Amino acid sequence: MDGQTWERMWGHVERVHPDGGAVAAAIRSAARLARPSVPPVPNYKLSMSIPEWLQAIQTYMKMLQYNHTGTQFFEIRKTRPLSGLMETAKEMTRESLPIKCLEAVILGIYLTNGQPSVERFPISFKTHFSGNYFHHVVLGIYCNGRYGSLGMSRRSDLMDKPLTYRTLSDLIFEFEDSYKKYLHSVKKVKIGLYVPHEPHSFQPIEWKQLVLNVSKMTRTEVRKELEKFARDMRMKILKPSSAHSPMKERSRGKSLSPRRRQASPQRRACRRDKSPAVVDKKGDLATLNEVGYQLRI
């Protein structure tokens, strides 16, 4: 973490914490901070049911805690290949720092890899409150004919949902009803495609295969669109609409040069990971966890 980002984080602490600069000064001047706890990464056991396994993953995320510091500790670029994002997820388990909603989605994908009966897909929300727009994302789950979710949020009812919803629209409407409790109106909902279980895939995650402007639609219209999309997903009809797809480029009237058409996955695989290190200074892990604890609401 560079010095400018480090100081910006402390400035955020002073603005949002009830005790202002006092709590920041107390942490920064402390000669010794308690060693932060490092929760064990959950391990799947054959005796576990899928709902039990999902609950173990969600419990692990909650032990990491939500990041209230105003600084995201892990860089998540949505256009990165799945393999690169899984490396970031491994880093999350090593560092055990607080996370936000986007990081929780990547971590949830990483921890549910290897469970072919569990389909994972991103669900994004755009909401409006008090003149401002807010964005949130969770990891949708489909297994054995039921829908649920994993995730992280400041609000307990805007993250994980049990694997009990019969339809995708039931799950989305449950989130919409939860938002209403906080006077947020949902403007848009974006649904992505199933994420492959191959952790070494060079395919990026498809984040918004279906985009619904729900503020201008009735619930009947929203349900119809969601159920058609969910049915096509289950039948694996839908394909990624990636910008790297030659067919998609041609449909837009664009052409690909011969060099781009001949680019192979092996060549793309050689690109160097430019993600910055999260923490460079020894002892900062305890400090960051203490800041997250003080700002927790």
Classify 163 as helix, strand or coil: strand
Q: Give which of 269, 244, 62 is closest to 150, Cα–Cα.
A: 62
pLDDT in tens, 137-157: 999 999 999 999 999 999 999
Active site residue: 68, 96, 124, 136, which one?
Answer: 136
Active site residue: 83, 153, 242, 275, which one?
Answer: 153
Q: Would you state the pLDDT for residue 244?
A: 43
Q: Would you state the pLDDT for residue 266?
A: 46
Q: Give which of 48, 61, 240 is closest to 149, Cα–Cα.
A: 61
Neighbours of 172 (CB within 10 A): 24
pTM: 0.76
Classify 94 as helix, strand or coil: helix
Active site residue: 68, 101, 169, 178, which one?
Answer: 101
Q: Would you state the pLDDT for residue 26?
A: 77
Is residue 153 among the annotated active site residues?
yes
pLDDT truncated to tens, each residue of the chain (297 aa)? 677 777 777 777 777 777 767 777 777 777 787 777 789 999 988 899 999 999 999 999 999 999 888 778 888 999 999 999 999 999 999 999 999 999 999 999 999 998 999 999 999 999 999 999 999 999 999 999 999 999 999 999 999 999 999 999 999 999 999 999 999 999 999 999 999 999 999 999 999 999 999 999 999 999 999 999 999 999 887 777 644 443 333 333 343 444 444 444 444 444 444 444 444 444 455 555 655 555 554
pLDDT in tens, 48-76: 999 999 999 999 999 999 988 877 888 89
